Amino acid sequence: MNKLVKLFITSISAITLALVSFSSSFAKVEGDYIVLGSAISLTGKYSSNGVHTQNGYNMAVDRINKMGGVEVQGKKYKFEIIYYDDESNPKRAAQLAERLIKQDGVHYMLGPYSSGLTKAIAPVTEKYKIPMVEANGASRSLFTKGYKYLFAVLSPANQYLEVAIDLAVEKNGGKGVKIAQAFEQDAFSQDVRLGILDAAKRTGSEIIIDDKLPKELNDMAATLAKVKATKPDVLVVSGHTKGALTAIRQISEMKVDVPMLAMTHCDAAKLSKQHGKKSEYALCASQWHKNLSYKDKFFGSGKKYAKDFQKEFGYDPPYQSAESSAALLVFKDAFERANSFDRDAVRDALVDTEMQTFYGNIKFGPGGQNVAKPMILFQVRCKGDDCENRVVAPTKWASDKFYHPIPKWSERS
Amino acid sequence: MDFLIFKAPMLMVQASLDGILLGILFALIAYGMALQWGVMNIINIAQGDLVILGGYIAYTMYLAGIHPAWGVIVSPIIMFFVGWALYKLVINKVVDRDLFISILATFGIAIVFQQLMNFIFGADVVVAQSEYGTTMLFDNSVTLPNSKIFSAFISVLYAVALVIYMKKSKLGRAIRATAQNARAAKILGVDTEKVYAATFGINAALCGIAGALISITLTLHPYVGLPYTVRSFMIVIVAGLGNLPAVALSGMGLGLFEEFADYILGTEFRIGAVFMLLVFILVYRRFKLSKKREYLK
């Protein structure tokens, strides 16, 4: 009996102790720190972009903390982020979001990498009314669900390649063009496709090939043979990095001549590095480029950001890093305007966001998407074997002229 | 449905050649699978991941400035020892157990391999450049990448070499004997343990060759192994075990079928069509078997 009582007392005290330590971590703001949470892909198939995202977040946290932090009610606070590895798995990401909110007491979230994972986390943050600023989920369906606590600093997926169709029509003297398109069957690529359908309708263009690429895509020879036979004015391909690399490999091998080739994920695929000259003239959609003329007081300009990032992490920042850094700037701005740590006050402040960052203008539409920043297009251009991405549209930021039409393979050296 | 292919005969030629060239490469992977399935009664779910690992070996050579085509010699040598080690570590413990255990074990190996490759080579999609150029036929209307022709040629070369080796060499005979009856082979003095290890090593080496060829014809990524496993599984199911000409034919047939399904039904049904074919073949086989059984009664 005595033993049982002892056991009882021990377990009670253990539970109490656990509860005490549990509740002490139940604070969104600890001392001088505002704690943000993020589930991020550090392993698994998204790990490289996950790391780009994390580096972007970390860079901004360092910079904001160094430059005085966030001022709320006269007191200066610093940012701190709790990260968990979601293993590139949506289910795991949703679990981790729950854990961040319920166990770690996080009241403000930063997004994961990719549309799929953001989709998995958004219902959780919405349920607990946790404001989430995300920088890597572009799928249109994220912004049509009526989420009130989701804010995306990037342009939605359907805008990725619309500009390319406009450009093709412009080059065709305002007349509609013939479009061949091949998209992977995932949420993001299908959203890009919807954008093209809209643009085709708007410009009176005709879609002559509309292929859906399987997820385990590694061969698009059939699509390209059809392109060769039907001679469209534009070929549009979107299938993440694998799609971009496969397309360039097979277009060059099969000597497919199209006047214009538009794609997504060129910089993530390191297209110009992996395929060199073969990727020349490819037109690529991008959220950001370092040469754009946006400015802010934390990072200065895009060029300065790229330089600092290179110094810190040893590689040129892809747009995934830049947009992630921008997410922190948005949070800082919202906290200061809300002048409070009340979640709803912060959420309301986020709704009213209207600012310029080195990454671009940010203003959230009713669905939470950024409506103030256009997508840009760059074209791969080579000098000898050295290839780089040059901005060609929109004209306001174009550093180079858009090269059209793409020379035939027989004329390319 | 799209019947463009019937209006343009050149597309038909293109599709057929693409399908056959790719099919030969798949047949090589399938042959490895058939070999170790026949000898050891193991369905290797990690087959595709061995292929990708072989590809990464060639890719590493490419990064070091060596032409990736040399991978077809280096990769199988390394992969043979990888296979051998894998046998000694894991497979020898499941080789006598039922099929389900071996599927589970190799599934586990597949996951470990994927994560290891992700850890070592990163999650980016990569390609190795062979710079082999293109062969143009029929006034440039049919194009064949030389890398694909090269890969088909190498696949045939290795397959023929393997058949001769299996027929003529001592180890080859031992492998065939073990496949026919492991117990009898053991009684007659064949070291079946060694035969199993060698078989698994040879399978891994075949995967290594295929991987090196894939690095110059398609793309590499730590997580794309599974489709290769599924395809080779399908080819083996259709062709049966231990019959190389049938494996080669069924590989080419599958390649052709895939290409034509792509043109006619659309790219999105390419893989689906292959699965439908598998279901059809399995049902047909069952139907034939059940007929036979009735006779026996």
What does the pLDDT look like over A349-407, one tens digit per residue? Answer: 999 999 999 999 999 999 899 988 888 898 988 888 788 888 888 877 788 888 888 88
What is the rounded CA–CA span in Å between residue B70 and residue A155?
45
Q: Which of B119, B144, B219 to mutate to test the interface with A (most CBs of A within 10 A)?
A: B219
B278 lies within 8 A of chain A by CB: no
Find all residues with CB under 8 Å of B166, minimum gap 6, and list them.
B172, B173, B175, B176
Q: Beta A178-184 vs A206-213: how paired, if at all?
A: parallel
* A17 found inside a domain: no
Indicate whether A388 and A247 sit together in one domain.
yes
- Percent of chain A residues topping a pLDDT of 90: 43
Contact A269 B10 (CB under 8 A): no
Higher pLDDT, A340 or B131: A340
Kindly report the nearest CA distance between residue B94 and chain A, in angstroms. Answer: 28
DSSP-assigned states of every residue in A146-193 = --SSEEESS--GGGTTHHHHHHHHHHTTT---EEEEEEESSHHHHHHH
Point out the least confidently predicted range of A101-105, A122-126, A238-242, B213-217: A238-242
Tell me if A224 sits within 8 A of A250, measured CB to CB. yes
Flag whether pLDDT at A217 surpasses 80: no
Contacts of B270 in chain A (CB under 8 A): 214, 222
| pLDDT tens-digit series, residues A245-279 | 889 989 988 889 999 999 988 877 788 888 888 88
The whole-number pLDDT of residue B50 equals 95
CATH number for the domain spanning A45: value is 3.40.50.2300
- Closest-CA distance, B127 to chain A, in angstroms, reads 7
Q: Which domains does chain B have, with CATH numbers?
A: 8-270 (1.10.3470)
A14 belongs to a structural domain: no
Q: How far apart are CA A72 and CA A58, in angstroms?
A: 21
Predicted confidence (pLDDT) per residue in A127-170, tens digit = 999 999 999 988 888 998 889 999 999 998 888 898 889 889 98
Report how far residue A152's alpha carbon sits from residue A402's, in angstroms, rounded to the nearest whole number.
Answer: 29
Q: Are A275 and A179 contained in the same domain? A: yes
| Domain count across chain A | 2
**Residue A277: its pLDDT value, please?**
85
Of the listed ranges A329-333, A403-407, B111-115, the least confidently predicted one is A403-407
**Nearest residue of B to residue A228, measured between CA atoms:** B141
With beta carbons under 8 A apart, name residues in chain A contacting B12. none
Same domain membership, residue A169 and residue A304: no
Phi, psi of A316, rounded to the nearest 5 degrees: -65, 135
Give the pairing type, strands A150-152 and A132-134.
parallel
Query: Residue A225: closest CA among chain B residues belongs to which residue?
Result: B11
Q: CA angle A269-A51-A284, nearest 5°?
A: 25
Do A116 and A95 lie in a common domain?
yes
Instruction: Give A276's DSSP letter.
Output: G
Q: Domain for residue A19, yes or no?
A: no
Q: Are residues A39 and A55 in the same domain?
A: yes
Q: A269 to chain B nearest CA, in Å?
A: 7
Q: What residues 48-67 of chain B have any CB closer than 8 A to a CB of chain A?
A: none
CB contact under 8 A, A246 and B218: yes
pLDDT-based confidence at A234, cuts 50/70/90? very high
With an 8 Å Cβ cutoff, is B18 touching chain A?
yes
pLDDT band for B138, please (50, 70, 90 cuts): confident
Query: Which residues in chain B are closer than 8 Å to A47, comparing Cβ atoms?
Result: 118, 122-123
For residues A307 and A399, what is the distance between their CA atoms, to the nearest angstrom? 19
A188 & A253 share domain: yes
| Burial profile B177-209: b = 16 or more Cβ within 10 angstroms, e = fewer | bbbeebeebeeeebebeebbbbbbbbbbbbbbb
The two tokens of residue B45 are: 């779910």
The closest CB to that of A222, out of B134, B221, B267, belongs to: B267
Question: What whole-number distance in Å separates Cα of residue A133 and Cα of residue A140?
Answer: 16
Question: Do A402 and A339 fall within a single domain?
Answer: no
CB contact under 8 A, B122 and A47: yes
- A49 and A114 in one domain? yes
Q: Are residues A163 and A308 in the same domain?
A: no
Residue in B with minimal Cα distance to A239: B125
C-alpha to C-alpha distance for B175 and A319, rounded to whole angstroms:
55
The residue ranking higher by pLDDT, A111 or B13, is A111
**A370 domain-assigned:** no
Residue B57 has pLDDT above 70, yes or no: yes
Interfacial residues of A (vs B; Cβ cutoff 8 Å): 43-49, 88, 182, 185, 211-214, 216, 218-223, 225-226, 228-230, 240-242, 245-246, 249-250, 253-255, 269-270, 274-276
The percentage of chain B sitting over the pLDDT mark of 70, rounded to a whole number, equals 96
- The pTM of the full predicted model, rounded to 2 decimals, is 0.82
Residues in chain A: 413
**What's the whole-number mean pLDDT along residues A17-35?**
62
Same domain for A401 and A343: no
- Return the amino acid letter for B187: I
Q: Of the given ranges (A128-132, A242-246, B77-81, B150-154), which has the lowest mean pLDDT?
A: A242-246
**Which chain B residues are Cβ-neighbours of A213 within 8 angstroms?**
267-268
Cβ–Cβ gap A214/B115 under 8 Å = no
**B293 confidence band (pLDDT: 50, 70, 90):** low
Question: By C-alpha distance, which of B216, B241, B202 is closest to B83?
Answer: B202
> How confident is the model over A61-70, as a mean pLDDT?
92
Among A185, A219, A253, whose Cβ lies nearest the Cβ of B268?
A: A185
Residue A140: domain span: 24-155+291-363
The pLDDT of residue A18 = 58
For residue A10, is it within any domain?
no
The answer to the question of residue A6 being in a domain is no
With contacts defined as CB-CB under 8 Å, which chain A residues touch B16?
none
- Mark whether A232 and A266 lie in a shared domain: yes
> Is A7 a member of any domain?
no
Does A137 fall in a domain?
yes
A89 and A129 in a single domain? The answer is yes
